A and B are shown apart, each in its own frame.
Chain A
Amino acid sequence: MTTNILEMRSITKTFPGVKALQDVSLAVKRGHIHAICGENGAGKSTLMKVLSGVYPHGTYEGEIVFENEPVAFKSINDSEASGVVIIHQELALSPFLSIAENIFLGNEQQNNGWIDWNKTNMEAAKLLARVGLKDNPITKIRDIGVGKQQLVEIAKALSKEVKLLILDEPTAALNDEDSAHLLDLMKHLKGQGVTSIMISHKLNEIKAIADEVTIIRDGKLIETLDMHTDDISEERIIKGMVGRDLGSRYPDHTPNIGEELLRVEDWNVYHPLDHQRRVVKDANITVRAGEIVGIAGLMGAGRTELAMSVFGHSYGHNISGTVYKNGVKINTSTVANAIDHGLAYATEDRKRYGLNLIEDIKRNISTVGMHKIAKRGWVDSNQEIVVAEGYRKSMNIKAPTVEALAGKLSGGNQQKVVLSKWMFSDPDVLILDEPTRGIDVGAKYEIYGIINRLADAGKGVIVISSELPELIGICDRIYTIFEGRITADVARGQTTAEFLMQNMTQERDKDKR
């Protein structure tokens, strides 16, 4: 009988307006690999941030017992001192420092303030051997690939005498070979007594190495499954991840679908920094007038990369493929071109890419369609107010006036400003990337209503989302995308969340590349 190294009891974490975690308990056995699964936004990362002290003790309810002692981590330093180390999806390495310097960053091998380089490099070499990395410790981080960088992160964790290693989607950015190596390493570390928690979307990986899997959905614990005794299938996990009632959270809509508006053919995109890595592979998608098309994919599957590369080559390197609008080949190689051809793209990251937060609502709305209220380069400010006021009413943007700053609005209202901005540019095809992320349930319903209205007006709408019930609830047709490849194309009514999740987490036929 193995004992628990970690017990998190009844953790509840509230953000203004949202319960991110509700009464979640988690027990991790010593020396096991424990996987945590759930949709994007289910609360996995929040739970790990509570555990590692990113959200300090006192900002959440519930208790954490580590090594049979109640702990109250106030910061990452506290948790690391106890042997809990988290490796985030975005690696925290300094590209211009060497591997050895990165491993001992903040924990320098020193003599009274002077770095002991011999010790630094020798200890680093030992750690690198443990993770199976043969590179010289004085190599700079930017000169090694992402896969090796991930291993350096693990070596860094080992240098802190880690007892519990937390990996947040460790293979999301890795190719197949590097992923396989990483999984082997995790098993190897397990043999050395290191306990791991792994957050992952990739069910084949979970099945390959995890001892237990805990499923979280909507901030609540669904179940913890023992991978050995219960002989758990991938379908079983998927059911836990998506299984909830679809109810009437989606407005009724009768589609009126017309001619094909947009077609993307043989679309290929390479990673902007890693030119070898293909992030979109031979993708083909179409959308017709009045049609709402979903793209279901998990984070990092290539869905945003697909959309942004089509929209003015805003992402990626060495983009190839053809875009047709109403059957005619068009050039979308700059954002201005794409907009001129009637495309719109509302980003998944409103704050970074969607809004000017220090500017007011009306000026945000007029950004794209400014030519419509300008004569010879001069903007009619009164007309601008009229336009913005119109959207404030029709989109139900909750703000005292259209001169309220975008940064002061709630997520739902910010999203409505973004949508207003694109609607004012009068596009034919709208690509909405995670349109309801970080928005409360009431506002979501309104956004769905807006999407239906757009379709009724004869526009083609593409909705990118990882929330399957949402896609099933509002889309007429859904594509799934996994590792950059479109894996399925199904009509509404002929699919289930389980079927979609299957195609989002594995390739149907294993023809790689």
Chain B
Amino acid sequence: MSVFRSSLNYLAGQLRQIGLFIALIAIVIFFQVATNGITLKPINVTNLIVQNSYILILAVGMVMVIIAGHIDLSVGSVVAFVGAMSGVMITQWNVPWWLAIILCLGVGALVGMWQGFWIAYFGIPAFIVTLAGMLTFRGLTQIALQNKQISPFPDEFRALGSGFLPDLGGGTSAVEPLTLGIGIIATLFLVLKGIRQRRARAKYDVEDEPFAWFLTKLVFTAAMILGITYLLASYRGTPIVLIVLGVLIVVYASVMSNSVFGRHIYAIGGNLNAAALSGIKTKRVTFMLFVNMGVISALAGLVFTAQLNLANPKAGDGFELDAIAAVFIGGAAVTGGIGTVTGAIIGGFIIGLLNNGMSILGVGTEYQQLIKGLVLLGAVAFDVYNKRRSGGR
């Protein structure tokens, strides 16, 4: 087989991943043109990241749950509940903001234990348990808030949602130096990591990715990060929530690919019986998975509340659906066992871009829903078609 042929075969195998990137780029270009360049203006890119951060955070937890073959419908209500608790703690109990953040993450863990117990040890399907959770935590939110809103929050707390890292240029430079520095370091980190990984794989003779494709991917990723860095630096710098999100992505991407816990999640989603017969403590892993999802939901709740400067009984309504859609657009399998954190993040950006672009264009919410629905259906249909064509399951 010629080099060209084998490269082509490799790319065909990666069709889903490539398709996702191409879709992302196509959507960016489309809106950039349609909105006369507003989409990629520095202020809009900043908004895009800040206003989608909580969906992206939720998508990180959700992709793990879905890989294990479960689902979590309660995350929107948990976001609201944790937001309400943070409001009650800070304004009524006078808990310092930093302690309130820690306690709220603890509340998320408790929520996760509650749901994880019923799912893992009692054997009720996650769909039912989290549907019940969706109702109960919404109810608890309203009880905690006595159906009123709580506002305002202290500035330190609000920074979690809408703050920026300090401007080292003193507000006078055209591009903010700290952001630029972070962007360059992040790019170098990714490039070095990619090269090291490829070297290791080549050493063990399992590398089948054509060099040209590896280079294309690397250049593309670097260009994307540097581009975003430049745009952010030309506005107000690095949003604090982007740092939170970045850490979350890096940590969970490696948890899913290299930790024993992550491997067990894939094993359970891929074949529950085989995992159990291999000595994997399937119930414990499932329980921990939902505890983790609870904490991540709590983090999203804190970010959302901080951003709006408001604890609202109606907060987080429908977030679970956006998070689930992001995960499936990002290539996760409905049957479990397949999916990646980065895929879910890209899926989340696609949803975010659609929301943002259509809002700028003044498309009504009815059409926004319609189009988002069709995109989700199309992405999964593409998956199913692909699998059938390649003779998979």
Contact = CB atoms under 8 A, between A and B. Distances in A.
Q: Which secondary structure dominates chain A's binding surface?
A: mixed
A359 B281 contact: no
Contact of B278 (A389, A407, A421): A421
A335 B278 contact: yes
B2 interface: no
A358 B338 CA distance: 8
B275 interface: yes
A385 B204 contact: yes
Contacts of B337: 356, 358-359
Nearest to A382: B200
A355 B201 CA distance: 24
Contact of B205 (A314, A353, A378, A401): A401
Given A357-B271, A389-B204, A345 B260 contact: no
B156 interface: no
B359 interface: no
29 contacts: A336-B281, A339-B279, A345-B277, A347-B277, A353-B271, A354-B274, A357-B270, A358-B270, A359-B267, A359-B337, A366-B263, A370-B263, A377-B259, A377-B261, A378-B258, A378-B260, A379-B258, A379-B263, A381-B258, A382-B200, A382-B204, A385-B204, A385-B206, A386-B204, A389-B204, A389-B205, A401-B205, A403-B206, A425-B279
Closest 9 CB pairs of A and B: A356-B270, A339-B279, A385-B204, A367-B278, A356-B271, A336-B279, A335-B279, A401-B206, A368-B278
Contacts of B259: 377-379
A230 B308 CA distance: 92
Interface string A358-376: 1100010011101100100
A402 interface: yes
B266 A359 contact: yes
B393 interface: yes
A377 B258 CA distance: 9
Nearest to A375: B260
Contacts of A335: 276-279
Contacts of A370: 260, 263
A348 to B, nearest CB: 12
Interface in B190-212: 200-201, 203-206, 208
Contacts of A367: 263, 267, 274-275, 278, 280
B273 interface: yes
Nearest to A349: B273
A385 B280 CA distance: 21
B267 to A, nearest CB: 6
Contacts of A354: 274, 277
A107 B137 CA distance: 48
A367 B273 CA distance: 13
B97 to A, nearest CB: 32
A381 B163 CA distance: 38
Contacts of B338: 358
A420 B57 CA distance: 38
A402 B270 CA distance: 18
Contacts, number: 94
A357 B263 CA distance: 14
A312 B281 CA distance: 12
A297 to B, nearest CB: 20
A513 interface: no
Interface in B269-308: 270-271, 273-281
Contact of A374 (B204, B260, B266, B267): B260
B273 A371 contact: no
A347 B274 CA distance: 9
B279 A368 contact: yes
Interface string A127-150: 000000000000000000000000
A375 to B, nearest CB: 10
Interface string A377-414: 11101100110010000000000011100010000000
A146 B310 CA distance: 61
Contacts of A228: none
Given A367-B263, A407-B392, 6 more contacts: A335-B278, A352-B273, A356-B267, A358-B333, A366-B263, A385-B204
Contacts of B270: 356-359
A355 B280 CA distance: 13
Nearest to A355: B274
Nearest to B282: A335
A359 B200 CA distance: 21
Contacts of B392: 407
Given A367-B275, A378-B259, A379-B259, A358 B206 contact: no
A374 B280 CA distance: 15
A382 B266 CA distance: 19
Contacts of A336: 279, 281
Interface string B330-352: 00010001100000000000000
Contacts of A389: 204-206
Contacts of B393: 357-358, 407
Contacts of A366: 263
A107 B266 CA distance: 43
A349 to B, nearest CB: 9
B276 A355 contact: no
Contacts of B205: 389, 401
A72 B282 CA distance: 48
Contacts of B276: 314, 335
B204 A353 contact: no
A231 to B, nearest CB: 48
Contacts of B204: 382, 385-386, 389
A352 B274 CA distance: 7
Contacts of A312: 277, 279
Contact of B208 (A314, A353, A403): A403
A356 B266 contact: yes
Interface in B212-262: 257-261
